[in-house]
Chain A
Amino acid sequence: MLLEARDIGKSFTGVRALDGVDFDVRPGEVHVLLGENGAGKSTLVKVLAGVHQPDTGTVERHGSLAVIHQELTLVPQLSVAENLFLGRPPRRFGIVDKARMRQDAKALLDRVGLDVDPTTPVRNLGIAGQQMVEIARALSLNAQLLVLDEPTAVLTDTETDRLLAIMSELRAQGVGLVFITHHLDEIRRVADRITVLRDGRSVGTLPGTATVEHMIELMVGRTIDEQYPRRRTALGEVLFKVEGLTRRGAFHDVSFHVRAGEVVGVAGLVGAGRTEVVRAAFGVDPYDSGTVEVAGRKVPAHDVQAAVRAGLGLVPEDRKGQGLVLTSTVGDNLGLVTLKSSTKAGLVDRAAQRSSAAEMAKSLRVKTSGLGQQVRELSGGNQQKVVIGKWLLADPRVLVLDEPTRGVDVGAKVEIYELVNRMTAAGRAVVLVSSDLPEVIGMSDRVVVMAHGRVAGELPAGTTQDKVMALAVQEFPA
């Protein structure tokens, strides 16, 4: 055993985060740690890494451990090699030996299969490459145990494939890996064993061959009937119409429309221009030509407030960077969009804000100790519910969701899908931008596929992943 943790218990200010958890890792295995957000995975990782002292139980480690977090800890301005040997560069006569540093770096990068020049600044690498550099750095420190905390949440499918391949490679080298992910299909591809946490307890350890249904059942403590519970409603008038939207260098002649009661998915590869289009339509960024209409009325360009007044809403892709005010409370975040409408003569009706926020938090089943709780303390899924909730309070006619379930666990995902159903049942229109193909196919009434900044085609509900991909990789004449 590389690692053996027995009967781990840990509480924070009276809240039990872990309770009697057993967990071990053998050399040369991938042990998946599975659970909803808030189940205690991060706390367990911190206990294993020695960041937290457990209240009860013991941790035995034979070998050094490195944790690769979702938020990377590299210095973007420095080169790959400098990052790899940060704080301990190879020296000769007290001077950094750059030639040797490059050589050593190259060898390490080969081990993780990353083919880049070690002098490249890390910020030029892209998120997947940066992760590889982090892993290489951990290996250079002779880590025999590697904890990967949701590394694939920010990766594209091809990047994920590569990461999984490297994990298998490292496993063959005898490294023990702890892998945390919300993508159940990935688990089936690499896992040797799966330990499921729920509410701070270990509810079972499954073999790597376990079925998705079995995993979900253990995770959420109930069976989820449908992963994509889309309930279709009768369609009404066109509520949202984007016509010929163009911004040089970003997207070209993009047109689509959404009717009342309809969910239109926007699929495409990373970099196809999906996020750029919806941001421009919402007035965040400018565009060169084209029009945006809500319920038949033109929305002025590059004016978020006008877009909000017209009845548009946007749940942005970057939850922490653009969706939430992390220094504020749950209540304040929920009330952000409606701040203006609940203001009279400069004064905010705080009581009304509080009661509507409380109602929304309740109806969205946000797991929180109260409206006064800091929003940064919530789990990812609950944070996302808060972002969606602040828009629901404003009751927009058209809500654009950009990667709404990224980093969100299975249970919360289904709840977010139910919110989409609720919106369309009330005659609103939803645009669902997502890189998760099963999701975009399962939840949309129509799928618009983008490639290279253009609309490559439109597919009806119930289309297949192959058809979407065929359009997504389409080339356009320059």
Chain B
Amino acid sequence: MTTVASRKNFKVLSDNGALAGLLVLVVALSLLAPSFLTTQNLLNVGVQAAVVAVLAFGSTFVIVSGGIDLSVGSVAALSAMVGAWSSAEAGLPGPVALLLGLATGVVAGLVNGALVSYGKLPAFIATLAMLSVARGLTLVVSQGSPTTTPDVVTSLGSNLTPYLPVPLLVMLVFFGVTGFVLSRTYSGRAMYAIGGNEEAARLSGIDVRRQKLVVYALSGLFAAVAGMLLAGRLSSAGPQAAVGYELDAIAAVVIGGASLSGGVGRATGTLVGALVLAVLRNGLNQLQVSPFWQQVVIGAVIALAVLLDTLRRRTR
């Protein structure tokens, strides 16, 4: 009995290199840092993973369909800023401001998608341009200063009960949404086909261009949600918020076993990837690793996680 069970567990782990890596990290940190394995700290990790995780869920769509979205950090900042500005400066009601912020993300994503699918721009270039434009617009809207968020956004960053932080909840909801979209919807199935072989998808009658629009719009929407979470946690939207988060998001997706050449990737993998990054940062703080070494360690872990996964695939 036990051998069967343990063999099954082993299979789950060997099928998912990132999950194994996460468990190794958690065990190591539990041994090294006495305060790591406490309910409160694990909740903290979840909350800290939330922003990158939601960004990464959006990026999962993009990467599965064979693209890349470098603009998600900037779009997150812009969406949050538009939301905060609409309420604080333009005096709109909070929920309306929130919706405006989310719409901003969708519009930015649609522009990305249009540039990629109709403009035939490489995704790297189109979204790199958006990275700059969105960050610039954030500065224009904010005039360089942080802006207070409406209550409805702030509540996104707070706790429902002491043991139920909203960001964690939002992360789990979007995890479910991502899994559902990928496995059950037409767009999700089309993403795998387009990312795996765009020509074969097109020759099978899939509307590749429209689906790409959907993909980038989803990425923009998720970025906006992540931006709201980030702003909510700080009660303010900052012009410098989420700088460089796109790389964390991409790292999370890839750690989770997705292939940057498209066609492969899952919501669970991405969640694990985001948790790996958050656990790592949390642990490095608690172990008080020298600031100069922290970036080295994070980079090494990213490389190691992906390497393990690649090796596992190769030996199959």
Contact = CB atoms under 8 A, between A and B. Distances in A.
B72 to A, nearest CB: 23
B238 to A, nearest CB: 36
Contacts of A348: 184-186, 188-189
B157 to A, nearest CB: 31
A327 B202 contact: no
A339 B190 contact: yes
A322 B200 contact: yes
Interface residues of B, number: 26
Given A304-B205, A314-B203, A326 B186 contact: no
A348 B192 CA distance: 14
B190 A323 contact: no
Among A282, A309, A339, A347, max chain B CB count under 10 A is at A339
A321 interface: yes
A211 interface: no
A327 B192 contact: yes
B262 interface: yes
B130 to A, nearest CB: 26
A332 B193 CA distance: 8
A53 B186 CA distance: 44
Nearest to B192: A328
A347 B189 CA distance: 10
B169 interface: no
B283 to A, nearest CB: 34
A298 interface: no
B196 to A, nearest CB: 4
Contact of A325 (B185, B186, B192): B192
A327 B262 contact: yes
A350 B203 CA distance: 21
Given A339-B186, A343-B186, A347-B184, A326 B197 contact: yes
Nearest to A375: B196
Interface string A307-338: 11100001010000111111110001001110
Interface of B: 183-190, 192-193, 195-197, 199-207, 259, 262-264
Shortest 3 CB-CB distances between A and B: which pairs? A327-B263, A308-B205, A325-B196
29 contacts: A284-B202, A305-B205, A305-B206, A307-B205, A308-B205, A309-B205, A316-B203, A321-B199, A321-B200, A322-B199, A322-B203, A323-B203, A325-B192, A325-B197, A325-B200, A327-B195, A327-B196, A327-B197, A327-B264, A332-B192, A336-B201, A337-B205, A339-B193, A339-B206, A346-B186, A347-B185, A348-B184, A348-B186, A390-B204
